[in-house]
Amino acid sequence: MTEIYRLVEKAQKSDQEAIQQIIYRFEPKIKSSLKLIPFQHREDVNQEIVMKMIEVIQKEDMEKVPGFKEFLNTISL
């Protein structure tokens, strides 16, 4: 089980620190992606991304998330 998976499980039990840790881990990618957004909209888009992340984290059924091998079986190689 990966660290992110464990953090998501904790976050789904209302562990605010786990939610913050997940967001922190994705922050570099978010900031990198925001460079593609006009400067005046970046803060709003950042907030929307974080809100959507929290929403998805809280709703995702971790039992239905495929492992890497299962994922590979679903794509054409």
**Domain segments of the chain as ranges:** 3-74
**pLDDT one-digit tens code per residue, 57-66:** 888 777 776 6
Cα Rg of the chain, angstroms: 15
**pLDDT one-digit tens code per residue, 10-38:** 999 999 999 999 999 999 999 999 999 99
Task: Identify the pLDDT of residue 66.
Answer: 66
CA distance 16 to 42: 24
Answer yes or no: are the C-beta atoms of 53 and 22 closer than 8 Å: yes
Tell me: pLDDT of 68 over 70.
no
Give all strands (DSSP E) within 1-77, no chain letters: none
CATH architecture of 3-74: Orthogonal Bundle (1.10)
